[in-house]
Amino acid sequence: MTTLEKATEKICELKGSVMALDTLLVALVRVLPPEACALWAKSLAATVSVAETVLLNADVSDVVIDSFSSEILRWQRLPAFAAPKAAFTASPTASVLAKPVALRQKLRLRQKERRAKVEASRRITTLKRNSAKKTEDVLDLR
């Protein structure tokens, strides 16, 4: 089995896991009473804040950030779709829905800063190697 086949298989496993968790979440939210839905929405907002902090301090790709943001937006709207409309009393506020966009911007800025530091470090290392090689070449000519 090639590395590409292994990677494809792992991606498919992850997709299946995400689908299973998504199904579980929808089923759970559908059976929650309105008060529990409101509590769930508050708990989700708090948990998202923790996850945002983790993402801000992790070296992750834009794909991860975009996926996280879109899934959180979808999950924040889930109680409104899963429960009868009259039963759900808590809806996400505009500021909560805007948070993933702000998070994405912060994460992209931080990633650009990290990439710039890595690139600067690589350039310095390359310059040092080239300088050392030139010095060796000069010494070899003598």
**113 lies in some domain:** yes
**11 lies in some domain:** no
Q: Euclidean distance between the first and final Cα of the chain, in Å? A: 54
Looking at residue 31, what DSSP letter applies? T
Mean per-residue pLDDT, 78-91:
54
How many domains, in total, are found in the chain? Answer: 1
Measured CA distances, 104 to 8, 71, 114, 117 (Å): 27, 13, 15, 20
Report the Cα 125 to chain-centroid distance in Å: 31
Q: What is the pLDDT of residues 35-46, one digit of tens each?
A: 888 888 889 889
**50 lies in some domain:** yes
87: pLDDT strictly greater than 70: no
pLDDT at residue 52 in the model = 86
**21 lies in some domain:** no
Q: 90 lies in which domain range?
A: 32-141
